[in-house]
Every structure is written in C-alpha cells, then in structure tokens.
Amino acid sequence: MTSLVLASSSPRRRDLLARIGVVPDRIVSPDIDETPRPRELPRAYALRLAEEKARAVSRAPGEVVLAGDTTIALGRRILPPATSEDVQRELLGLLSGRRHHALSAVCTIAPDGTVRTRLADTIVAFKSLSPAEIQAYVACGEGLGKAGGYAIQGRAEAFVRFIHGSHSGVVGLPLLETRALLAASGISRA
C-alpha cells in the first residue's frame, strides 16, 4: 500500500488535506533555504520551493511525498513572509487597494521517483486599507509569519474585494491540483 508523507510544518496544509479525506501517514518539516534567486520570477520561485521541499524529505519504499509553497506576488515582486509587525504593516500597505497573485505550487514525488508539479495562480484584490485597519489587523497577530502578511482564512478575508481562482490555494494548498497529483502518484484516497 502506498503511504503519504507530507513535507510541511504548516497545520493549514494538514487541515486542507483532511477536507479531501486525506490523512498523511507521516509529517516531516523540510529544511530548505527559501531565499529568492537573483531575478527569479514568482511562478518559478513557488514551483522551485515546492520541489525543493519535497526533495528535502527522505522517502521509504512505497511512499509518496507531497510538498507545497504559497508565494504572494505583486507584479514581478515576491513578497516575503511577515517576519515582524513592521514588515507586516509594510506588506499590507503594499497590498492595500491592489490586486496581487497568490501562487500556490504543489509537488509530489511518487514511489518510482517521478516528480510532478502543479501551480494554482489566484488573483486576490484587497480593498483600500486605512492605517487603523492595518494596525488592528497587525495587532490581532494572525498574519505574522504568513506569505504577504495575511491569512485569508481569518480576519483578512474581510479585506478581499474579489478573488479569482483557488481559495484553498491562497490558504496554502490548492485542493483541485493536489488531488490530481496525489491520484497520479498512487494515492487513491484523494
């Protein structure tokens, strides 16, 4: 029987997998350098990180590894995770009143070593945020450590004027693409 290894430290990815009836047999936190390369474009960056995370986890015979990465991009600019409240305020200021892309890449490595990747590109448009709204959101703490400085599954959803694409991808794992990759890799419970 094929077993699944989730290469992620994100509880959101585990929760999203549960929505499609998938429970990983093992969860391993990959340790990779997530620094963008010079002139690296956001789509290539997200796909590279998903694959590097998958490759960073050891596989036993019969195991499928699943990894993902969600990158927030403003044009060609890769926005970092909010590592501090100051960074988070800056990120929310950049996103205020603008459209951005939430690029959610998924990678599987099948038992035979076949690597498969998919990318969900979701357009998210934020309303214009007042300084008070930004400060209140920063103070709640939920966007700290998140790509782009926000968590769409929480209070930041009230900032969204529209979304076109995969809501689950913005949260951290595009379920349509993930289900297809898991099935192609031999995980039939998806």
Q: Where are the beta strands (DSSP E) in the chain?
A: 3-7, 26-28, 63-74, 77-79, 99-109, 115-126, 160-164
- What percent of the chain is predicted at pLDDT more than 70? 98
Q: Is residue 28 part of a domain?
A: yes
Is 31 labeled as catalytic in the residue annotation? no
- 128-to-85, 115, 117, 124 alpha-carbon distances in Å: 19, 41, 34, 13
Q: For 83-110, how does the pLDDT look when each residue is reduced to its tens digit (9 = 90+)?
A: 999 999 999 999 999 999 999 999 999 9
Q: Is residue 38 part of a domain?
A: yes
Q: Is residue 29 part of a domain?
A: yes
Instruction: State residue 76's pLDDT score.
Output: 96
CB atoms closer than 10 angstroms to residue 121? 18
Pairwise CA distance, residues 31 & 123, whole Å: 29
**What's the rounded mean pLDDT across residues 169-173?**
96
Q: What are phi and psi of 16, to 5 degrees?
A: -65, -40
Total domains present in the chain:
1
**What's the rounded mean pLDDT across residues 135-143?**
96
Q: Is residue 74 part of a domain?
A: yes
Q: Is the separation of the CB atoms in 123 and 176 below 8 Å? A: no
Q: Is residue 189 part of a domain?
A: no
Question: Nearest CA to 107 among 57, 52, 51?
Answer: 51
Rg (CA), the chain: 17
Residue 13: band (very low, low, confident or very high) from pLDDT cuts 50, 70, 90: very high
Instruction: State residue 189's pLDDT score.
Output: 66
Domain of residue 169, CATH code: 3.90.950.10
Q: Is residue 190 part of a domain?
A: no
Q: Is residue 36 part of a domain?
A: yes
When mean pLDDT is compared across 92-101, 127-136, 181-190, the lowest value belongs to: 181-190
- Choose the catalytic residue: 69, 86, 112, 121: 69
User: What is the chain's mean pLDDT, rounded?
Assistant: 96
Q: Is residue 142 part of a domain?
A: yes
Expressed as residue numbers, the domain containing 180 is 3-184
Q: Which residue in this structure is represented by tokens 């450590």?
A: 145
Residue 2: band (very low, low, confident or very high) from pLDDT cuts 50, 70, 90: confident
Residue 188: band (very low, low, confident or very high) from pLDDT cuts 50, 70, 90: confident
- Confidence (pTM): 0.94
